[in-house]
């Protein structure tokens, strides 16, 4: 199902077909009509965009207000009595101790979880995708369809037995490797499927030519497949990274929940569980976890949109 989605996602990046058609011979009447309907449509669009942005904007404003202000009145009062402090950020990031938010450690955990958990599935999936696309073997098609079908198995179906395997057989429950492996497994079906779509599009002549020159599969993989698939690897890698960064469920089950391993999302869920006591910390804490996705979103929007749309069926 994701092929079409990717195709649709690519469309807006081309200069809009409509603009070209209108310019080429679209007719004056249409342009006039557009100009007539435009103000109302623009007004409605701006209204919706404002409504959609206010909640996030409000939290951002709150995060820079003093704890007393956060507790005593709403963020909109900043327009009446402006104030600015970094106190909350310093508090949640640097203060150590049992009752402190201690987000510095959790931020490190999130990075240590998300970087390998994005790389592992991509690399293993690229290998499998290459095999399904370019190594002829019996049952290839059937196994590929089976892997595709695995996407519909909800994470929830795997959690209990996988945790038992990790804790009773491997003895790694509550460690970084447990979280990496879990994310790798859950990411594989979609990564294999998407990368297969891409790698099977590599022109057959290129692979044939390499084979005639005596290259074996390992050499073809490293010299041709990886370099040619880099854009796809980047898109899917970014998406997988953000998926892991934003995940709560896998972390809750496999990380053990201590400051040694648990990611930011898990700490945030704990803090928000005691909303009354952590009110002044939560806005700053939330933004510390949002900053990475927002940077990725605004700087790599092209890749992000592609990866996200292609991967939206995951989970």
Partner 1 sequence: MSAFWSDLVSKFGIMVLGLAVFAAVVGLILFLADRAPKRGRDYWQLAAFVGPSIVLLAVGLVYPAIRTTVLAFFSRQTANGSDFVGLDNFVWMFTQPEIVIVLVNTLIWVALVPTLSTIFGLAYAVFIDKSHGEKVLKSLVFMPMAISFVGAGIIWRFMYEYREVGFSEQIGLLNQILVWVGQDPQPFLVNSPWNTIFLINVMVWIQTGFAMVLLSAAIKGVPVEIIEAARLDGANAWQSFWNVTVPGIRGTLVVVITTISIATLKVFDIVRAMTGGNFDTSVVANEMYTQAFNRGETGYGSALAVVLFFMVLPIVVYNVRVMRKQKEIR
CA distance 164 to 162: 5
Residue 241 near partner 1 by CB under 8 A: no
Residue 32 near partner 1 by CB under 8 A: no
Residue 145 near partner 1 by CB under 8 A: no
Residue 64 near partner 1 by CB under 8 A: no
Q: Which residue reads 């404003």 in tokens? A: 61
Nearer to partner 1, 99 or 218 (CB): 218
What binding mask, one character per residue, do residues 90-129 give for partner 1 by CB under 8 A, x or -?
Answer: ----x-x-------xx--xx-xx--xx--xx--xxx-xx-
Q: Kindly list the distances between the CA atom of residue 234 and the CA atoms of 9, 85, 198, in Å, as whole numbers in the listed order.
A: 15, 37, 12
Rounded to 10 degrees, the C-alpha dihedral 191/194/200/203 comes to -110
Rounded to a whole number of angstroms, the minimum distance from the CB of residue 78 to partner 1 is: 12
Nearer to partner 1, 82 or 154 (CB): 154
Q: How many chain residues interact with partner 1 (CB under 8 A)?
A: 130
The footprint of partner 1 on residues 206-235 (CB under 8 A) is: 216-219, 221-222
Residue choice 31, 33, 223, 277 for contact with partner 1 (CB under 8 A): 33
Look at the chain and count its residues. 315
Residue 274 near partner 1 by CB under 8 A: no
CA distance 14 to 213: 38
- 194 and 232 Cβ atoms separated by less than 8 Å: yes
Residue 273 near partner 1 by CB under 8 A: yes
Cα dihedral sign for 198, 201, 204, 210?
negative
Cα dihedral sign for 125, 131, 132, 138?
negative
Of 78-86, 197-205, 227-235, 284-292, the window that binds partner 1 (rule: CB under 8 A) is 284-292
């Amino acid at each position: 199902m994701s092929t079409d989605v990717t195709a649709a996602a690519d469309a807006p990046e081309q200069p809009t077909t409509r603009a070209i058609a209108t310019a080429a011979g679209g007719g004056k009447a249409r342009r006039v009509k557009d100009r007539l309907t435009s103000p109302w449509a623009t007004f409605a669009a701006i209204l919706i965009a404002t409504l959609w942005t206010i909640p996030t904007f409000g939290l951002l404003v709150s995060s820079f207000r003093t704890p007393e202000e956060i507790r005593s009145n709403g963020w909109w009062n900043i327009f009446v009595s402006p104030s600015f402090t970094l106190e909350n950020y310093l508090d949640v990031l640097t203060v150590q101790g049992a009752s402190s938010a201690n987000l510095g450690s959790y931020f490190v955990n999130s990075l240590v979880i998300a970087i390998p958990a994005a790389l592992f599935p991509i690399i293993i999936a690229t290998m499998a995708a290459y095999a399904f696309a370019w190594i002829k073997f019996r049952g290839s098609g059937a196994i590929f369809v089976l892997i595709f079908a695995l996407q519909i198995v909800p994470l929830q179906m795997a959690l209990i037995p996988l945790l038992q395997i990790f804790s009773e057989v491997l003895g790694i429950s509550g460690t970084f490797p447990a979280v990496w492996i879990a994310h790798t497994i859950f990411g594989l079906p979609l990564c294999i499927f998407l990368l297969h779509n891409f790698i099977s599009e590599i022109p057959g002549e290129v692979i044939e030519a390499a084979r005639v020159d005596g290259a074996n599969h390992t050499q073809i993989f490293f010299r041709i497949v990886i370099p040619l698939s880099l854009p796809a690897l980047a898109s899917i890698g970014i998406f997988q990274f953000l998926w892991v960064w934003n995940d709560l469920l896998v972390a809750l089950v496999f990380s053990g929940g201590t400051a040694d391993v648990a990611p930011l999302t898990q700490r945030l869920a704990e803090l928000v569980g005691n909303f009354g006591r952590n009110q002044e910390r939560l806005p700053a804490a939330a933004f510390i976890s949002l900053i990475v996705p927002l940077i990725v979103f605004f700087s790599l929007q092209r890749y992000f949109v592609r990866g996200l749309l292609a991967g939206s069926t995951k989970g």
